[in-house]
Structure 1
Amino acid sequence: MGRIIFTVHQVNEYVRGLLGRDPILQDVWVRGEVSNFKVHSSGHIYFTLKDEQDRIRCVLFRQNQRDMDFIPCDGMRVLVRGQVSLYCRDGQYQIYVMHIEKDGIGELYLAFEALKQRLKAEGLFDAQHKKPIPAFPKKIAVITSPTGAAVRDIIKIVRRRCPCVDILVVPVLVQGSAAPAQIEAALDYINTRDDIDTIILGRGGGSLEELWAFNEEVVARAIWRSRIPVISAVGHETDFTIADFVADLRAPTPSAAAEMAVPMLQHLQETLVGLNIRLLEGMRNMLLRKRSSLEYLQSSYVLKYPDRILQQRKQRLDQAYTKLCVAFNDMLSKKRERLSRWAVALDALSPLAVLGRGYAVVTLKPSHRVVHSAEALNPGDDITVHFKDGRAHCKVEKIENGVWGINEP
């Protein structure tokens, strides 16, 4: 039997033709929640429309936005009217939106944004107030629905990662008008206990209405006043609630919260084994180094022949003493030589030396003032003539002017 082979493009075009010939899909109304909202630089709007089970991509071209009286945003429930077709390049069908309007949840989303801005202004979201999550908790508390998949996932992951951690499940409603009060009471109750290290607050995914209990102010303030660190795990990764912003840590899913709350025991054991190996190896290397150092010291010249070292030190001491004596004697000789030169110089300047060469010193009585000139004397003055070996007391008889000579009579 012959085979008919199509290209990928032919298949996509065929499917697009089938969708285009379906009258229902060419003018269809769809209700859902907006997520992954993006405005392209071209002005076209791309977003995903989702409900509790599935998602479908949507595109709203710029020319179809003229009648819009609002800007869609993530979390908003809307009604869209358009045609379903296949985008051949990606092989994915999507809704080409012709008209969009709010589906009544817009008021809730506006309330969400208003509360978010008010609590942010009060500082409830500030990072400086976030408490660290204990790395090795002994017991954690889980606030969630006792019948939902979230609690089963959390227990399963905690038991797998770290079986030694105890779990306290505090059952509450996670949607409906009574849920906020129950969540607040659960948080306050857990904070009265001293055996809880971490709180996980969460539930599975849902629409904005179903997650609204975690957007209530009473829940936000209960998380804020909790002295025990709180991990918020509400909905899926794309879902954000007020509880996420106030909590000390946000987890994208309840399963991720369990992974964040407790360590992986196997990893800890592997880490401890690795550290133990490194410690033993380090101690072994240190002992080898110490043993090598000890063997080197034992074979060293100092320890093998200490008396020789002492003899060398004594010899060096004798040499130093000899050098000291030589230096001292040399210094003493130099000092003596300098003293002799000073004594000769002083002797040359001594008056007694001058007197010894035949000179005399004349003083006038009774003042004993030295006479420097004949003009200072008068006939009849009593004078004393000082010689090197004595004195003569004389009286001046006559004064003669002029220079005295040695050969004068």
Structure 2
Amino acid sequence: MRILTVHELTKHIKTLVEKDHLLVNVWVKGEISNFKAHSSGHLYFTLKDDLSCVKVVMFRSKSRLVPFQPKNGMAVTVRGYVSVFERDGTYQLYAEGLEPDGTGALYLAFEQLKKRLEQEGLFDRRHKKSLPLLPRRIGIVTSPTGAAIRDMLQIIGRRWPGREIMLVPVPVQGEAAPQAVAGGIKLLNQVGGVDLIITGRGGGALEELWTFNTEIVARSIFHSKIPVISAVGHETDTTIADFVADVRAATPSAAAEIAVPDRKDMARYIRTLKTRLARAVDEKLAASKRRIESCLLNRVFTSPLNAICGVGQQSLDQLESRLRQAMYGTLERAGSHFAVLAGRLNTLSPLATLSRGYCICATLDRNRVISDTASVEIGEQLSLLLHQGRLEVVVEKKECDISINGNRF
């Protein structure tokens, strides 16, 4: 009896599994759990149903082709092959394709990206830029061989000939298309002198329009400093680019009509403006003429001397009379007030006291007023100021007590 090592046993089981034709290309449906997206780009998760579960590995080369974001709890169908992971001795399902169960993968990816970008505000109306009325240079990012570019060039040339068109030829379908379209929009922003950008393509299936449902194209439109018109597919087709763009056109032909006005319509509009301007000028001149005529009928212009010498002179005389009366009244009131103040001042004046027989006694040099006998000596000369005049006297006698009308002081 042969005894096998663990590795030999595991390798034998792996060989048996890999030789099974059913397990070489198998489709398995279930619910995702334990989902993990590794930094390397590989996906690891468990696929389960009510009774069993199996580990699933999806390498980066395959996972980057999955258009939607797998999540725990999502029902999916996995296409791949079964093999044994020798290190752990477990069998695993190596996924080569992944689709949501019950809905298309592209539709699910569309809804996921739309919801995420909407939450970030990329669809917000406040970010939308206004289109120029008459762009001098129009940049178009599309396929150079499709019917879309031919229709747009024809319509722009018919509606407003002579517009400068800058075409950035890019593939609009395939794996390299999203990067090319985003690069074309960025290039037009760097070139300068471009007033408007149109990007899009003709109609097709959802897979054919998918370039304009990618995140890289959506963000390039959002970050464009130049207004962008999205023109993808037919009228019923809606892409992520339509939501992000400043203006959505139903078709490439409609985008060309939005981009430039019709020359004939513009000419009619200019003629209308010219007529309205001429009418406005005529009405303004007529109104000014009526105002001048009304002013000329005024008495100031019809009888200027009467205005000056008549009513004007009478008003001037009345004002002069009122001014004189006011002036005389003011002077009279001021004179009366002055007399009252002079009377009060005269009552308090020392001259009035002197007029009643009093005098002011001071030293001869009049530097000091004498108010008592103790401050003078016998023989000292004093000066007496009277109501009228002055006397110089010599002190011969001093008395401390004096009597007036029988009263001693």
- Calculate the TM-score normalised by the size of structure 2: 0.55
Match of 2:298 among 294, 297, 300: 300
Alignment-derived partner of residue 247 in structure 2: 249
**1:360, CA displacement in angstroms?**
4.3
**1:331, CA displacement in angstroms?**
3.5
Task: Kindly provide the CA deviation profile for residues 103-131 of structure 1, in whole angstroms up to 9, marking residues without a partner as x.
Answer: 9952x556666777888899977777755
* Residue correspondences, number: 311
Instruction: Tell me: CA distance 1:265–1:389, structure 2 relative to 1, closer, same or farther (3 Å).
Output: same
Contact 1:201-1:232 within 8 A present in 2 as well: yes
Gaps of 5+ in 2: 1-72, 78-98
Residues 1:233 and 2:207 aligned together: no
Alignment-derived partner of residue 288 in structure 1: 286
Counting only pairs closer than 5 Å after superposition, residues 81-230 of structure 1 correspond to structure 2 as 102=101, 106=105, 108-109=106-107, 131-144=129-142, 150-151=148-149, 154=152, 158=156, 161-162=159-160, 165=163, 173-176=171-174, 183=181, 197-215=195-213, 228-230=226-228
**1:282, CA displacement in angstroms?**
1.6
1:263 is paired with a residue whose SS is coil
2:404 is paired with a residue whose SS is coil
Contact 2:148-2:201 within 8 A present in 1 as well: yes
Alignment-derived partner of residue 65 in structure 1: none
**1:135, CA displacement in angstroms?**
2.0
Instruction: Tell me: CA distance 1:285–1:374, structure 2 relative to 1, closer, same or farther (3 Å).
Output: same
**1:293, CA displacement in angstroms?**
1.0
What is the alpha-carbon distance in structure 1 between the residues aligned to residue 385 and residue 216 of structure 2?
Answer: 127
Using the TM superposition, name which of 121-130 and 270-279 deviates more.
121-130
1:274 is paired with a residue whose SS is helix
Alignment-derived partner of residue 277 in structure 1: 275
What is the alpha-carbon distance in structure 1 between the residues aligned to residue 238 and residue 305 of structure 2?
Answer: 85
What is the alpha-carbon distance in structure 1 between the residues aligned to residue 248 and residue 337 of structure 2?
Answer: 95
Among the aligned pairs, what percent are the same residue?
A: 41
Task: Kindly provide the CA deviation profile for residues 128-157 of structure 1, in whole angstroms up to 9, marking residues without a partner as x.
Answer: 775543221245454545675545654565
What is the alpha-carbon distance in structure 1 between the residues aligned to residue 241 and residue 377 of structure 2?
Answer: 131
Alignment-derived partner of residue 405 in structure 2: 405
Contact 1:211-1:234 within 8 A present in 2 as well: yes
What is the alpha-carbon distance in structure 1 between the residues aligned to residue 327 and residue 225 of structure 2?
Answer: 84
Instruction: Tell me: CA distance 1:343–1:287, structure 2 relative to 1, closer, same or farther (3 Å).
Output: same
What is the alpha-carbon distance in structure 2 between the residues aligned to residue 383 and residue 230 of structure 1?
Answer: 117
What is the alpha-carbon distance in structure 2 between the residues aligned to residue 321 and residue 201 of structure 1?
Answer: 86
Using the TM superposition, name which of 115-124 and 223-232 deviates more.
115-124
What is the alpha-carbon distance in structure 1 between the residues aligned to residue 380 and residue 167 of structure 2?
Answer: 139
1:133 is paired with a residue whose SS is coil
Residues 1:311 and 2:309 aligned together: yes
**1:292, CA displacement in angstroms?**
0.8
Contact 2:229-2:246 within 8 A present in 1 as well: yes
Q: Which amino acid aligns with 1:298?
A: L
Q: Which amino acid aligns with 2:291?
A: S
1:271 is paired with a residue whose SS is helix
Using the TM superposition, name which of 370-379 and 214-223 deviates more.
370-379
Give the superposed CA RMSD: 5.0
Residues 1:391 and 2:391 aligned together: yes
Instruction: Tell me: CA distance 1:366–1:157, structure 2 relative to 1, closer, same or farther (3 Å).
Output: closer
**1:290, CA displacement in angstroms?**
0.6
Contact 1:378-1:399 within 8 A present in 2 as well: no
Match of 2:260 among 237, 262, 267: 262
Alignment-derived partner of residue 17 in structure 1: none
Alignment-derived partner of residue 93 in structure 1: none
Gaps of 5+ in 1: 1-67, 73-99
Alignment-derived partner of residue 353 in structure 2: 354
Contact 1:383-1:393 within 8 A present in 2 as well: yes
What is the alpha-carbon distance in structure 2 between the residues aligned to residue 400 and residue 223 of structure 1?
Answer: 122
Instruction: Tell me: CA distance 1:226–1:323, structure 2 relative to 1, closer, same or farther (3 Å).
Output: closer
2:266 is paired with a residue whose SS is helix
**1:302, CA displacement in angstroms?**
0.9
Q: Which amino acid aligns with 1:393?
A: V
**1:261, CA displacement in angstroms?**
1.7
1:280 is paired with a residue whose SS is helix
Alignment-derived partner of residue 6 in structure 1: none
1:391 is paired with a residue whose SS is strand
**1:324, CA displacement in angstroms?**
4.0
Using the TM superposition, name which of 273-282 and 143-152 deviates more.
143-152
Task: Kindly provide the CA deviation profile for residues 168-219 of structure 1, in whole angstroms up to 9, marking residues without a partner as x.
Answer: 7776654345655765676577668777543322223322222234345675
Q: Which amino acid aligns with 1:391?
A: L
Counting only pairs closer than 5 Å after superposition, residues 46-57 of structure 1 correspond to structure 2 as none
Instruction: Tell me: CA distance 1:71–1:253, structure 2 relative to 1, closer, same or farther (3 Å).
Output: farther
Contact 2:373-2:398 within 8 A present in 1 as well: no
Q: Which amino acid aligns with 1:137?
A: P
1:136 is paired with a residue whose SS is coil
